[in-house]
Structures are given as C-alpha cells and as structure tokens.
C-alpha cells in the first residue's frame, strides 16, 4: 500500500503521517519525487488503515500494491532512481560503462587495464577477487589481496571499482575496498547475503539469476531495499535457454520491462550474456538502444591467456575503446549521455595486441 500526498506538503507533515502509520505496527518508507511524495507501507496493515489515511489532511490518495515487491516497484517510486558515487551518476539519462577483466590476476595486469579503461572513457573498473566457479579446481581468485590491487589501480587512474561479493562474511571487507558490490547470478537468491547487503549503503549491482523470472529478480532486489540500502542496480546478464551457440541468451526484453516495473537503474552484461567476443559489440549497442542505463563489459590485455578461461568473451582494449566511441554517438539518439573524459589516442600507443 502506498500513500500519495498533496503537492508542497511540508516535511513536518510527512513526519506526522509516517508516525501515524508506524503506530499501527508496520514500517513506512518515504520516496520524494519531483511532483509528489509517496509513503510506502511495508508489512501487514490493518484493513481499516487505508480508509483512515484517505481521511487525513494532505493525503491525496491511498493505493494498494498487489506486487510482492514494494520498494522496488515503480508504483512506490514513480521517478527514476539515480545513484551518485563520487560524482558519477547512474540512472535516468546518465550512462555508465564498467570495464575490466573477469578476475584480478596481479598488480601490473589490473593497473594496465585500469589505465586503458580510463583512456577509452569508462568510469568503473571491474574485476573479481573472489570467483565463483563451476568446477572446484578452477582458479578461484586472489582474495583480499586482489581487492587491494584493484582499489589502488582505480584510485591511481580515477575510476570507481566494482567487485563480486559471495558471502555475508565478506560484505564489509569488500565494501571497504570497492565502490560497488556485485551479486553474481548464482547468488541472486542467496537471501542471507542479500539481507547483509541491506545493512550497508554501498551500491549493489544485482545480477539476474540465469533461470529467474522478472518477479523473482525484483523480489531479490527487495531484500536489499527492505534492509535499508536504497542503492541497487539491476543487471541483465543472460538467461539459460536451449540454445548452445551462445553461452547464455541475453534477454534484451528485460531492459524495458524492468524499467516499466521498477525505478532502479538497469545495466546490461553483453559479455556473460553471449559468451562470444564478436557478439559483445552488437549486443552492447542493442542494449543501449533498448534503454539500458549502463553496461558491464569484460576487457583484457591478453584474453587468450586469462586465468579464468573467459577470454573468448573479453574485448581487446582497442575494441573496447572503439565500442565506447560508437556508444557515445548512439546514446545521443536514445537520451543517454556519457559523463566521462576520454584520453587522446596516444594513450593506447604502449599497448600491443
């Protein structure tokens, strides 16, 4: 249930309405938009509460929300959520590109990739320090040392950083080093992890489970929002279908659907979504055309020898730079803008394929 107030209602009056609601044993979450303020009611409200609220001064309407997710719903928060991290805005018309390797391997590798991500115009350095792998004998990441390596590289080159967190125990340490915490597809319904992420304010990139519906995806986001962390981004990273040619099937429909259902920024992952280097460029462009608020793209200086074996889906630095140049032009056509500074072409002179 949501309570819609009249325009120009005072903060004091909003506080009184919230206090009245919470006296009944439920929680109230306030969402302030450009034209109105909405108070969301979370919990099992008394049947008579809706009518009582309708009679209150400064209450324009009371609407029942049938969706199981409340805080993630656009009914609760009509305006797009814009997450700002150290001056970088994600959501609305702002476009963000996250680039980097699947995994941090050593200081030299991540520093050189950070330099090239920045030179191309990217705003966020991605890299895994803890890697969930299908097989127990595969490379699992370098752990906390990798977090420190990436944080240093990001700081040196003026980039935000994003890394995957796998367990509740590592949320605090990952938040200490990284600007954005990523929840991978295998952990989308790791509810203990989601609850823990709700207790911090570090922005979270939540990846869709590879067999999850939109409803399940948004309910997973609801766990984080309900815990008190409003900084959540949704990431479409491909789903499992019967097709064997690609690693996954990138569900482009998810981008506009999620934006209709939710106010949260939607990011596309064409690297995992296809698993093929030659498909990353067209699917990146298609994602932007579909309205994505950002992209997370694998890029490596030597993808054929990456320690994770995911090199087949990683772009070379020159491909990454060329793609971002095209995306900037495409963004202008669909109402997306890149708030970034690109380095001159000479920045790539020291890198050789």
- Answer whether residue 326 shows pLDDT above 90: yes
pLDDT band at 137 (very low <50, low <70, confident <90, very high): very low
Per-residue pLDDT at 140 exceeds 70 = no
40 vs 239: CA distance, rounded Å: 32
Instruction: For residue 182, give the nearest of 267, 309, 300 by alpha carbon.
Output: 267
Whole-number Cα distances in Å, 203 to 127, 163, 171, 213: 16, 11, 12, 23
CA–CA distance, 219 with 239 (Å, rounded to integer): 17
Closest by alpha carbon to 44, among 15, 59, 64?
64
- Per the DSSP assignment, residues forming a β-bridge with 63 are 2
Q: How does pLDDT run across 232-280, given as a tens digit for each residue?
A: 999 999 999 999 999 999 999 999 999 999 999 999 999 999 999 999 9
Please return the burial class of 324, using the count of CB atoms within 10 Å of its CB with bins 0-12, 13-18 and 19+. buried
Q: What is the DSSP string of 223-266?
A: HHHHTT---EEEEE--B--S--SSSSB--TTHHHHHHHHB-S-E
Collapsed DSSP state (helix, strand, coil) of residue 101? coil
Query: How far, in Å, CA of 224 to CA of 95, rounded?
Result: 23
What pLDDT digit, counting tens, does each position of 162-185 carry? 999 999 999 999 999 999 999 999
Lowest model confidence (mean pLDDT) among 182-191, 276-285, 325-334: 325-334
The answer to whether the beta carbons of residues 62 and 50 sit under 8 Å apart is yes
pLDDT on residue 193: 98
The predicted pLDDT at position 139 comes to 47
Q: What is the pLDDT of residue 350?
A: 66
- Mean pLDDT on 107-133: 89
Q: Are 246 and 275 in contact (CB under 8 A)?
A: yes
Q: Are 245 and 236 in contact (CB under 8 A)?
A: no
* Cα angle, residue 137 at apex, residues 108 and 135 outer, rounded to 5°: 110
- pLDDT band per the 50, 70, 90 thresholds, residue 156: very high
């Amino acid at each position: 249930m949501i309570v819609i107030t009249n325009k120009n209602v005072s903060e004091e009056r909003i506080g009184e309405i919230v206090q009245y609601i919470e006296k009944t044993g439920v929680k109230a979450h306030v969402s302030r938009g450009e034209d109105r303020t909405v108070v969301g009611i979370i919990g099992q409200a008394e049947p008579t509460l809706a009518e009582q609220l309708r009679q209150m001064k400064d209450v324009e309407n009371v609407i029942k929300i049938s969706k199981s997710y409340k805080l993630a719903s656009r009914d609760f928060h009509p305006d797009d959520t814009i997450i700002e991290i150290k001056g970088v805005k994600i959501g609305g018309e702002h476009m963000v590109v996250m680039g980097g390797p699947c995994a941090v391997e050593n200081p030299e590798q991540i520093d050189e990739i950070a330099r090239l991500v920045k030179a191309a115009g990217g705003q966020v350095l991605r890299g895994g320090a803890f890697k969930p792998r299908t097989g127990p004998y595969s490379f699992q990441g370098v752990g906390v040392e990798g977090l420190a390596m990436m944080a240093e590289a990001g700081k040196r080159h003026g980039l935000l950083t994003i890394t995957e967190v796998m367990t509740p125990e590592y949320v605090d340490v990952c938040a200490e080093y990284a600007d954005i915490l990523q929840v991978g597809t295998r952990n989308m319904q790791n509810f203990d992890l989601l609850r823990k992420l709700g207790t911090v304010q570090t922005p979270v990139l939540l990846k869709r489970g590879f067999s999850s519906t939109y409803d399940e995806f948004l309910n997973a986001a609801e766990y984080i929002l309900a815990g008190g962390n409003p900084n959540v981004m949704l990431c479409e990273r491909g789903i499992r279908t019967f097709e064997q040619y690609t690693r996954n099937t990138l569900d482009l429909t998810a981008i506009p659907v999620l934006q209709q259902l939710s106010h949260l920024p939607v990011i596309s992952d064409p690297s995992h979504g296809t698993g093929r280097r030659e498909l990353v460029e067209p699917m990146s462009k298609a994602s932007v055309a579909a309205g994505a608020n950002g992209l997370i793209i694998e890029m490596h200086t030597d993808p054929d020898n990456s320690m994770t074996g995911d090199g087949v889906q990683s772009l070379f630095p020159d491909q990454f730079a060329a793609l971002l140049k095209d995306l900037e032009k495409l963004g202008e056509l669909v109402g997306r803008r890149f708030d970034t500074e690109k380095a001159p072409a000479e920045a790539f002179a020291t890198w050789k394929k």
